């Protein structure tokens, strides 16, 4: 599989496609590459709750890219300096946790978009090399071509949906359903499919659509992703590398023990 053209994820999403992304927690670039080669058009490397550090993230971004998919990174909570750095390393999108207010959204944009939208510092040599373009082209295209995903995970974020979505430089609203279930139940329930979360899904899609932004959701499995795509979500994370490994091992062991 050949490497995709520069900024392929942005073009696909803005062209109206629904994109399914693999999700990697294990910190193993070879596994991220395998998901890309399996057919996921985008693969996320999780620095927030996964085992990806900067060295494995740099290697993982390159591995996903050369395998034909768009590399994405979920950065640690509030670490917008890392958001800028992973874009320099070649990530096509940044997923930022707990974007609760317009101020949070503006801080994310400041780190990830060049002027006049933001204040991103210059240094994308690795990204331009991976994309196969010169630095002038990268500068010209980066603000539109690299994407910012603001995670919606709290009551405060829900109250500020329209303001977050309207922030120039925010490209997508991405629901973290597990944390949202904790927030909506005041810590009493961890259930990403609970009624309280379900009641908010269409509101987030509507807010994203009003602002011309992309609605996204983390899904435990493919069935959930297909079902919520029918409700208007266009960027859907599907399962995780560790989940796929466990499911595959369980299926084989079931045969062995039959």
DSSP-assigned letters across all residues of 101-157? SHHHHHHHHHHHS-TTT--PPS--HHHHHHHT--HHHHHHHHHHHSEEEEEE-SHHH
Q: What is the pLDDT of residue 4?
A: 74
Residue 1 located in a structural domain? no
> Which H/E stretch holds residue 172?
strand 172-175
Q: What is the pLDDT of residue 156?
A: 98
Closest CA to 120 of 103, 99, 143, 101: 143
Cα(219)–Cα(178) distance, rounded to whole angstroms?
10
**DSSP label at 189?**
-
Place of tokens 């829900």: 158
Residue 176 located in a structural domain? yes
Domain hosting residue 71, numbered range: 8-257
Residue 58 located in a structural domain? yes
Residue 220 located in a structural domain? yes
Q: What is the pLDDT of residue 3?
A: 66
Average pLDDT of the residues of the chain: 97
State mean pLDDT over 212-222. 97
Residue 2 located in a structural domain? no
Contacts of 235 (CB under 8 A, 6+ apart): 13, 18, 19, 21, 149, 172, 174, 214, 215, 216, 217
Cα(74)–Cα(147) distance, rounded to whole angstroms?
12
Whether 49 sits among the annotated catalytic residues: the reply is: yes
Is 1's pLDDT higher than 80?
Answer: no
Residue 45 located in a structural domain? yes
Share of the chain above pLDDT 70, in %: 99
Q: What is the pLDDT of residue 2?
A: 59
pLDDT in tens, 56-67: 999 999 999 999
The domain that holds 96 is classified in CATH as: 3.20.20.60
pLDDT in tens, 2-46: 567 889 999 999 999 999 999 999 999 999 999 999 999 999 999
Residue 15 located in a structural domain? yes
Structural domain total, the chain? 1
State mean pLDDT over 129-148. 97
Alpha carbons within 13 A on the beta-carbon side of 41: 15
Q: What is the pLDDT of residue 5?
A: 81
Residue 3 located in a structural domain? no
Provide the token pair at 87.
Answer: 């874009």
- CB atoms under 10 Å from CB of 133, counted, come to 19
Q: pLDDT band at residue 118, thresholds of 50, 70 and 90?
A: very high
Is 94's pLDDT higher than 60?
Answer: yes
| Catalytic residue (choose from 17, 39, 49, 53) | 49
Is 201's pLDDT higher than 80?
Answer: yes
Provide the token pair at 207.
Answer: 């807010």
Contacts of 255 (CB under 8 A, 6+ apart): none
């Amino acid at each position: 599989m050949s490497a995709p053209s520069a900024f392929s994820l942005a073009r696909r999403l803005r062209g109206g496609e629904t994109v399914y992304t693999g999700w990697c927690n294990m910190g193993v670039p070879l596994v991220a590459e395998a998901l890309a080669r399996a057919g996921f058009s985008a693969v996320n490397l999780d620095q927030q709750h996964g085992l990806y550090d900067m060295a494995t993230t740099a290697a993982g971004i390159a591995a996903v890219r050369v395998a034909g998919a768009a590399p994405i990174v979920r950065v640690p909570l509030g670490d917008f300096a890392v958001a800028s750095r992973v874009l320099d390393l070649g990530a096509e999108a940044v997923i930022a946790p707990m974007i609760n207010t317009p101020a949070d959204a503006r801080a994310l944009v400041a780190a990830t978009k060049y002027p006049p939208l933001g204040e991103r510092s210059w240094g994308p040599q690795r990204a331009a090399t991976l994309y196969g373009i010169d630095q002038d082209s990268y500068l010209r295209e980066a603000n539109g071509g690299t994407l910012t995903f603001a995670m919606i995970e709290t009551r405060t974020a829900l109250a500020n949906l329209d303001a977050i979505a309207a922030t120039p430089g925010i490209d997508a609203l991405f629901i973290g359903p597990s944390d949202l279930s904790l927030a909506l139940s005041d810590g009493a329930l961890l259930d990403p499919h609970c009624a309280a979360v379900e009641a908010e899904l269409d509101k987030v899609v509507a807010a994203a659509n009003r602002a011309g932004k992309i609605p996204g959701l983390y899904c435990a499995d493919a069935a959930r992703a297909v079902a919520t795509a029918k409700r208007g979500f266009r960027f859907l994370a599907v399962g995780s590398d560790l989940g796929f490994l466990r499911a595959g091992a369980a299926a084989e062991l079931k045969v062995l023990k039959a």
